[in-house]
Chains A and B, each alone.
Chain A
Amino acid sequence: MSETRTLAETYGPLLAQLDEAVAHNDEQAFRAAVESLQDQREGDVTRALRTLTGSLLDAMLTFRKEFRISDLAEREVPDARARLNHVMKLTDEAAHRTMDLIEQCGPLAERTSKAAKMLLSKGIDVPAGFRGFLEQTAEDCSTVRANLNEVIIAQTYQDLTGQIIRGVVTLVGEVEHVLAELMRLTGASLDEPMPGTRSEASVGNGYGPAVPGVSVGVVQGQDDIDALMAGLGI
């Protein structure tokens, strides 16, 4: 209802029409006056709704503009996901490349170590310095072989970092979905993203590698696990 007009100004003429229609028992005029009243009332509601919608739209546009929803939803968040996937791919390739080379080097160290030991075992009369060299060679190559094995085991980092990254990729996918929904609500165009498939973290599905400062209730290394397992009779 307009605030600048009084009730008498707004409804006075219509009430007069109603009065007159009743006085003359004019049903047609009476109905027309009632309909006019309804129109007037609905007009008020429509105007209020229009104002409200306008404010909401303004707020949404400001929101989109100020929070860069469109940039985030359409480019930056999907980019973040692609980058993380790329990191996983790179570490996977690096780990396999490392293992390729170790698998080539290991047998070389082993061959050298064995050859040195074989020469020593033949009991050939060689200068003391040369014997010492052969002994050292056999020992060093065994150490190299053992260390190379540890380098292979150390490639476990790829699995551990990969699992953590995969968790973040899933989270980023969810953020992307929420942003896309916000975009849709604020009227921007964006293809509906694929809903992320997420298997809930739980005892059964697993929580992934422990992250310091984030994970709770985790054991402190293998000794802790061994003690726990021993306590359980295993």
Chain B
Amino acid sequence: MSADIRFLVVDDFSTMRRIIKNFLNDLGYSNVQEADDGTTALPILKQGNIDFLVTDWNMPGMPGLELLKAVRADPALAKLPVLLVTAEAKREQIVEAAQAGVNGYVVKPFTAQTLKDKVDKILQSRAAAG
């Protein structure tokens, strides 16, 4: 697993962006960019310099689910690993996210271990897929 994986963390709350960035840094990933909703995240993703997207769901502007759909609809981004970290906890939403092609789903509040497990799992399956 490479420590130079480039992350983009998307959340409208600066607290949450900082928490996730801090957490990723602690895992040894120092290349972490931030965006505050899907509208600002998409142009960053389209530049092609992001390897892993961590996004919230409920955001003004473009919500996370729409961002996920936009990512999957773009041939250049279709295979980008996407982890949803959200307070959204309805069964129908988790099913919807899975159908839209999410790679992992963590509900807030979470523990460091839960977040680590999901990030590791996604990176492992990505490495296995080559």
Contact = CB atoms under 8 A, between A and B. Distances in A.
Interface of A: 92, 95-96, 99, 103, 149-150, 152-160, 162-163, 199, 203-210, 215, 217-219, 221-222, 225, 228-229, 232-234
B19 A218 contact: no
Contacts of A209: 87, 89, 108
Contacts of A222: 106-107, 110, 114
Given A153-B115, A219-B89, A228-B91, A206 B57 contact: yes
Nearest to A206: B58
Contact of A159 (B11, B64, B104, B115): B11
14 contacts: A153-B109, A159-B16, A203-B65, A205-B63, A208-B58, A209-B87, A215-B89, A218-B90, A219-B90, A219-B91, A222-B106, A234-B103, A234-B104, A234-B105
A206 B93 CA distance: 8
Given A96-B18, A234-B104, A210 B87 contact: yes
B77 interface: no
Contacts of B92: 203, 217
A24 to B, nearest CB: 82
A96 B16 CA distance: 10
B14 to A, nearest CB: 7
> Which 9 A/B pairs are nearest by Cβ-Cβ distance?
A206-B58, A209-B87, A232-B98, A159-B13, A158-B15, A218-B89, A159-B16, A156-B109, A95-B15
Contacts of B66: 204
B96 interface: yes
Contact of A203 (B23, B93, B110): B93
Q: Which of the listed residues B64, B86, B88, B96 has the most CB atoms from chain A within 10 Å of its own CB? A: B88
Interface in B16-51: 16, 18-19, 22-23, 26
A209 B98 CA distance: 19
A198 to B, nearest CB: 11
A153 B91 contact: no
Contacts of A204: 63, 65-66, 96
Contacts of A152: 19, 22-23
Nearest to B56: A159
A225 B50 CA distance: 26
Contact of A229 (B13, B59, B86, B105): B105
B111 A153 contact: yes
Contacts of A206: 57-59, 63-65, 86, 88, 93
A218 B91 contact: yes
B119 interface: no
